[in-house]
Amino acid sequence: MADETERYILLSRATTDPMERRTANTILEALGRLDIECDHVDEADLAPDQDSPALLTPDARFNGFRAIWEHLASRSGVSATHSLPAGAPA
């Protein structure tokens, strides 16, 4: 779970889209990990690369966040559609 959490933190920091940031932060809040300090994360890891969410189309980025959200919802037994963050298309 630590690797997953770090991934969500990186996604939250990498995106400039308010919807994506809110979704990533909601996921981190659900994990109880929003307050994690990430000093151990190398700044180079935050730079855009070929797999960076910043280089994907908006639809691809949203689908990626939705897939993460649905995965977490299914693990917790919560309805993914019911638990989508405010402003997310159902």
2-40 pLDDT, tens per residue?
566 676 677 667 767 777 777 777 777 766 654 444 444
Q: What is the pTM of this model?
A: 0.33
pLDDT score at 40: 44
* Predicted confidence (pLDDT) per residue in 36-89, tens digit: 444 444 445 444 555 554 545 556 666 667 777 777 667 666 555 544 455 555
Give the number of domains in the chain. Answer: 1
Taking Cα atoms as reference points, which of 2, 19, 21 lies closest to residue 11? 21
pLDDT score at 68: 73
Within-domain flag for 84: no
Cα angle, residue 24 at apex, residues 3 and 78 outer, rounded to 5°: 90
pLDDT score at 39: 41
Residue 17 phi/psi, 5° resolution?
-80, 125
Domain residues for the domain of 20 are 2-76
| Residue 59: DSSP 8-state | H
Within-domain flag for 36: yes
Within-domain flag for 85: no
CA distance 58 to 3: 24
* Coil, helix or strand at residue 62: helix
CA distance 60 to 55: 10
Within-domain flag for 82: no
Within-domain flag for 70: yes
Within-domain flag for 89: no
Within-domain flag for 48: yes
pLDDT score at 37: 44
The answer to whether 28 and 5 are in contact (CB under 8 A) is yes
pLDDT score at 43: 47
Within-domain flag for 71: yes
